[in-house]
A and B are shown apart, each in its own frame.
Chain A
Amino acid sequence: MGIVSSGFMGRRKREVPGLPPGQYVTEGFPVLSAGPTPKIDRDEWVFTFTSDNGNSRHWNWNGFMSLPQEDIDVDLHCVTSWSKLGTHWRGVPVDALFTHVETDAQFALFHCYGGYTTNLPLRDVLGGKAWIAHQFDGEDLEPEHGGPARLLVPHLYLWKSAKWVQGLELIPEDRPGFWESRGYHLHGDPWREERYG
């Protein structure tokens, strides 16, 4: 237990099921991003999958929408300490991008419009753990929240759920992405409070 502030009572619920350590619940949906919001039309949107052997596959919006779609109900946890519980999304499971892909790679680097990147072990994005999401609460995803499409990796801190995602690159060895090379944790598990590197 830390230094006790005798005048501080705190007003939030003490025990919230599903809330990782050091987090509090917000009803809003705060926006955090590093620069201007890119404005990308679905007509020009392309998602590129680059394998570790150099081969690449591309989906335009229509091709992407013809992939399997799932409804996703998950909690979100931001490294800045807020959590938003019970959010509703729709998107393509990352597993669906791996059909007919054979690889020994164990890591992926996701690329975004605007230059942002984030690194993830494949074990954290396959097996129904991550999606490329394009709807939030039944509506098309707003640009400020990452539309047309963002990565959604709800079991890790939200900076891993990269906005404006446009590519997945398989990499043989883990290497830090944008925030990970600027002081944030390489992995980012909220239940282990992997906030800073």
Chain B
Amino acid sequence: MKKTLLTLLALAMLLHTSCITEDVATPTRAGNFMTLWKIIDEHYCFFDYKQQAYGLDWDEVRQRYEPAISEGMTNVQLFEVLSDMTAELRDGHVNLTAAHNVARYGEWFDNYPMNFSDSLERKYLGRASEYRAASGLRYRILSDNVGYLRVPSFDVEFGDGNLQEMVRYLGGCNALIVDVRNNGGGMLSSAEKLTTIFVNQTTTVGYIQHKTGPGHNDFSAPRKIEVTPFDGLRWQKPVFVLTNRRTYSAANSFVMYMSQLPAVTIVGDRTGGGAGMPFSSELPNGWGIRFSACPMLNAKGEHTEFGIEPHVHVDISSHDYSRSIDTIIETARNMAHDN
């Protein structure tokens, strides 16, 4: 009888330990708070860097915000507390999504000059019939024989034909301006694809890591991001990449790739950063959470999470604004003539 009991006990233990499950809190206020804190704690990729940059301590953040949670609070109140907690990460890639609002950190652009204007963009691109548009790329030849390429987003995949036609059309220009201001990102593959027309050999443009475990310092070794030359016409003349604080995420990566190429000059304001590829997860109450998961480093192995300083820092002056002149484009044009 004792043997039978022991066998049954062993079987029960085996069955119990055999179930692979995740400990997730119930959808209470405290449960949602703890789930959010834990998701970030285990998956966020810039703790060490931001601890050094401004003293971020995620355990201290929990201790500071946990007393603000009570089961009697409303959804909106809970959202406010959780939003404030995620804002401690100072990361535009961290978003808490609920039915009534999306929490987003905007200090990386709100505190700085816009350095871009739709009206000025329209002035330089001209009317719809005056510029070409293909796969989200808009381009034309300016009056001084400088090519102007406006890339508002990397959400679109650029085809080989799109790039081939663009380089052929702008090929006679003395220089090319690539305007990625207000480009909030999109697909890294698109940023890489656009870079391919500016390299003549396989080039290491940066590094990427990923987390290998839930610890704050569990990271893989940095691995190369290489760009191979475009199979067709490639741009061989000076390039000026225009940036502002809203050049973010995949656009920040594009600037990171381009900034080390010899014929490229970055002109404008510091980029917004956003150098962590974001992942998504969710809380028991259904709210979504997006966070930086895979850090990307520049070719020197440095973080660009807080942006890339341009080679030539220029703001659009209020005087130029009033005259409908884009100081940043004009600076690039002047530099193109000087080359």
Q: Do A and B bind each other?
A: no
Chain A interfacial positions (CB closer than 8 Å to B): none
